[in-house]
Structure 1
Amino acid sequence: MSVTRLIARDELRLMLRNRVAVIAFALLVLLTLVAVLSSWSHQRANADLRARHQHEAQHAFDAQPDRHPHRVVHYGHFIFRPLGPLAAFDPGVDAFTGSSMFLEGHRQNTANFGDVRQSSLLVRFGQLTPAFVLQVVAPLLLIFLGYGALARETEHGTMRVLMLQGASRGQVVRGKLLALGTVALLAGLPAMIGFLAIAGQPGALALPMVVIALGYAAYLALWVVLIVLVSALVRRSRDALLALVALWAVAVVLLPRVAPDVASAAVPLQNRLQTDVAIARDLRRMGDSHNPDDPHFAAFKRSVLAKYGVTRIEDLPLNYKGLLGMEGERLTSELFDQYARQSYHAQDRQNALVEAVGMLSPAIALRSLSMAAAGTDFAGHRRFLEQAEAYRYALVQRLNRMQAEAVSYGDDTATDADADRRKRVSASNWGRMPDFAYQAPSGAMLAAGALPELAIVLGWLAVAAALLARAARKLGEGR
């Protein structure tokens, strides 16, 4: 057996003698299994609930009686964001952003019913998921198991004894790395098995799974190297433990919590009330379709009359009120899109600042990687919002066109007793409206979105390994 393996075996034997370490490792495995099962159950229940509500909302929309098309515009429609197969591993921002949207004419609503608004306040501190266990808990366990790997040898004077017996500095370091790496592998194995079980369901994509597996493997390897590095740089095991716990607290707890607050302060984001007030102000400036003297809509009326070669609204082959509704919806939707783009831009800048802090905290980089590959990051939420708005606009304009083509202007403006019946269109039209179908991103797109963060984690690993190689050359000198 090689010297490296002998040292690794001796280190593992020493860990096994530590009952506290063994109990902590067993608890980590148990916690990981509980996280896998609870996250899987929670996401399955969420997916089933959303699918059921979506079916009920669609049935309610299709079951409407004969109605005026504009009443259907205001009746609206509910849609729900479907969950991807990897959301059970890392739900990302889903608990905070909301899962459903109410679509209606003349308004662009936000997503509602996020878990943090309906569940215990504990949800705000992070769900118990396999991703959370590997990002936060596993490094702490590795610290308590490996903080004395080299510092203990230096402190007890056994480092020179090993070297006198023929072990080189590199062999000692590699042996310690192999031992702690074995523990890291065993610690991450339950989460990876759960990950494979979660990703084995229909719809799972191979490329994002590979990126996630590589990211977490590099992250745990980084902590193994960092632990051995710190243990090589200090003289006493106690100092190594204090330094590593401080490093964990800053990199895993402090920076990921502080970075979003710093980003929010640096790039202010308008809240919903401020946005609604600004939109209402701009709508008044844009024009009022109910005011015949409004410059924009007066010009629109003239252009419509000229297009069809008539001089009166009543002589148009289409219902002018439907055409007016289409023009009004076009203008308001352009305004909604303008404010949405401003909000997206501000949030992108905030996320960019947070990811920049990832250069200082591999935990932030790994979290961003995990969410991006799972499709549960802000980009995934934005895809849902943009697709929902495109569907809302197409649905409303289809109803406005139905009013223009299926309801005459004379009936639409009539006030006699039978006018209400003549304004209605057949209920069969609602069932022919296209259903909302969320277009999920491809595996290549998800993987590409996670690659920059993967590069950061690998960069951290490379730097730590280089520093450890340098520190290893000085082991046993002057101590």
Structure 2
Amino acid sequence: MSVSRALPAVAVGEWRAMLRNQVAVAAGILMLALTLVAIVVSHERVGAVNAERTRFQSTVDAQWANQPDRHPHRVVHYGHYVFRPLSPLAFFDFGVDPFTGSTLFLEGHRQNSANFSDAAQSSVLLRFGQLTPAFVLQVLTPLLIVFLAFGSVARERERGQLRLQIVQGVRGATLLLGKLAAHAGVALLLGAPAFIALVAIAVVHPAVAAEALALLAGYALYLLVWVVAAVLVSASLPRARDALLALVAGWIVTAILLPRVMPDIAAGDVGRPSRIETEVAIHERLAAIGDSHNPDDPYFKAFRARTLAHYGVTRVEDLPVNYSGLLMAEGERMTSALFDEFMRADHTRQSEESAIVHSASVASPLIALRRMSTALSGTNLDSHARFLLEGERYRYAFVQRLNGLHVNVVTPTGAGDERIDKHHWEDTPRFGYAPAPFAEVAARHAWPVFALLGGWLLPLCAIGGWVAKRLERNPA
């Protein structure tokens, strides 16, 4: 029998066998329904969250602009809120977003952490995970592929059908390719609702079209890895039961055990300090570098001397600007540099933890896929760190702008409680958060994962050639 006739015949025969299996059909229908529910629920949730954060941001912006006449330093301590918007693709994979804060309170002399995460405000049920299209495709769909494909070749060997096909002239490679084509088609069908949703997002939101299409390709490649592995295991073991046990064990290790254990191993190896320990370290450093409220502090005594020399006067009272404002600006510069140092050090430790987790991608394609999925969805640690850095940059800019008003607008010899016109608050620039460009995200997280998944497929294909020859020599 020619390859052009045999290969479609094998694929069609496999499809017919699956259609005759009522359990397989019911499981496939349930998986499709589950994916559709995950898409609808996740999309509605992200839309509601974004609408809520937009409303909150508009409210606090209006409250900021409607402040009465005040002294600038009072406005520094009045503070301001900023909220992190979600990417249109956040519905696909929530990533770390439910566990990281989404709101920053910005004020002078202090760097606050992000607050109001879903995990902190929800019941303990959140610990069991949330239903997203990514979770269904990453964990549940491979399990269904295993149950559909474990007997694709092994069951025919047990029934004697495999020997009959080989005797009739069907080559081992043709047989395997037909089985692979059949199950690859089923895998793509199972992922079709999620893939259609990604295409729809790419059409409706062109700004994230590249990310959406990259996600589609990555998940399709991931499912293909599982299909190839399942068919090859079925062809390599003598009994379908053995193939099922081997595949389920592989699924447990790669999809459940390693993704759960590796973060704990990484946390133990890196050892990030707690928030309290970080606060104590910051206060110790602040006490060492100088206190702008202490007139006898060595650093600020030297700062006063430099300031007087700069303006060519001998007394603070003779300065043409408000010296208190200059003190506040200098103190903010020093403390913000320290805050930035500690923040970046913490981000470096988090990156080290992520690198340890990602090192297990060689053994678990799910870990590799999750790295790409959360990055392209804008819900990974890098996206959260970018929000914190952008928020800190904005905080420093608006605090120093207020300190500038303190320096140049408040009367130098005033009593200390002088108010300035409220139009100055209305002129404050609004916070804007821009996600990382696709080229940057793809270079760091997408292309390496594509290469790794391809690295899984290449040896599997090489093994497939060996298995195909083995089938021809020993079909029984």
TM-score (norm: length of structure 1): 0.96
1:474 partnered with 2:467: no
* Alignment counterpart, residue 428 of structure 2, candidates 428, 433, 448: 433
What secondary structure does 1:474 align onto? helix
Quote the residue 1:160 is aligned against.
163
1:37 partnered with 2:53: no
1:443 partnered with 2:446: no
Quote the residue 2:70 is aligned against.
67
Moved more, 467-476 or 320-329: 467-476
1:106 partnered with 2:106: no
- In the aligned structure 2, how far is the partner of 1:199 from the partner of 1:75? 41
Moved more, 217-226 or 448-457: 448-457
1:331 partnered with 2:334: yes
Quote the residue 2:318 is aligned against.
315
* Alignment counterpart, residue 124 of structure 2, candidates 121, 126, 137: 121
* Alignment counterpart, residue 87 of structure 1, candidates 82, 86, 90: 90
- Quote the offset at 1:409 in angstroms: 3.0
Asked if structure 2 preserves the Cα contact closer than 8 Å seen for 1:374 and 1:446, the reply is no
Quote the residue 1:132 is aligned against.
135
| 1:469 alignment partner AA | G
- In the aligned structure 2, how far is the partner of 1:472 from the partner of 1:145? 20
- In the aligned structure 2, how far is the partner of 1:30 from the partner of 1:439? 35
Quote the residue 1:198 is aligned against.
201
Q: CA 1:5 to 1:179, structure 2 compared with 1: closer, same or farther past 3 Å?
A: same
Quote the residue 1:303 is aligned against.
306
What do residues 75-111 of structure 1 show as CA deviations (whole Å, max 9, x unaligned)?
1000001111111111211111111100001111111
* Alignment counterpart, residue 459 of structure 1, candidates 451, 455, 460: 455
Quote the residue 1:188 is aligned against.
191
- Quote the offset at 1:476 in angstroms: 4.9
- In the aligned structure 2, how far is the partner of 1:334 from the partner of 1:469? 59
What do residues 204-248 of structure 1 show as CA deviations (whole Å, max 9, x unaligned)?
323222221111111010000000111111110001001100100
What secondary structure does 1:32 align onto? helix
Asked if structure 1 preserves the Cα contact closer than 8 Å seen for 2:201 and 2:212, the reply is no
Two-structure CA RMSD over aligned residues (Å) = 1.3
- Quote the offset at 1:198 in angstroms: 3.2
1:370 partnered with 2:373: yes
- In the aligned structure 2, how far is the partner of 1:167 from the partner of 1:64? 82
What do residues 264-301 of structure 1 show as CA deviations (whole Å, max 9, x unaligned)?
00101112111111101111111111222211101000
- In the aligned structure 2, how far is the partner of 1:443 from the partner of 1:287? 43
Asked if structure 2 preserves the Cα contact closer than 8 Å seen for 1:169 and 1:475, the reply is yes
Asked if structure 2 preserves the Cα contact closer than 8 Å seen for 1:85 and 1:201, the reply is no
What secondary structure does 1:103 align onto? strand
Asked if structure 2 preserves the Cα contact closer than 8 Å seen for 1:208 and 1:444, the reply is no
Asked if structure 2 preserves the Cα contact closer than 8 Å seen for 1:375 and 1:446, the reply is no
Asked if structure 1 preserves the Cα contact closer than 8 Å seen for 2:198 and 2:213, the reply is no
| 1:319 alignment partner AA | N
What secondary structure does 1:433 align onto? coil
1:19 partnered with 2:45: no
What secondary structure does 1:358 align onto? helix
Could you list the runs of 4 or more consecutive aligned residues of structure 1 that deviate by over 3 angstroms after TM superposition?
Answer: 476-479
- In the aligned structure 2, how far is the partner of 1:196 from the partner of 1:47? 21
- In the aligned structure 1, how far is the partner of 2:361 from the partner of 2:124? 27
1:347 partnered with 2:350: yes
- Quote the offset at 1:442 in angstroms: 2.1
- Quote the offset at 1:349 in angstroms: 0.4
- Structure 1: which 5+ runs fail to align? 414-419
- In the aligned structure 2, how far is the partner of 1:121 from the partner of 1:300? 53
1:268 partnered with 2:263: no
Moved more, 284-293 or 196-205: 196-205
- Quote the offset at 1:316 in angstroms: 0.4
Asked if structure 2 preserves the Cα contact closer than 8 Å seen for 1:86 and 1:199, the reply is no
What secondary structure does 1:101 align onto? strand
| 1:233 alignment partner AA | S
- In the aligned structure 2, how far is the partner of 1:240 from the partner of 1:305? 83
- In the aligned structure 1, how far is the partner of 2:265 from the partner of 2:10? 45
| 1:398 alignment partner AA | R
- Structure 2: which 5+ runs fail to align? none
1:177 partnered with 2:177: no
- In the aligned structure 2, how far is the partner of 1:406 from the partner of 1:336? 28
* Alignment counterpart, residue 390 of structure 1, candidates 374, 388, 393: 393
- In the aligned structure 1, how far is the partner of 2:36 from the partner of 2:423? 50
- Quote the offset at 1:342 in angstroms: 0.9
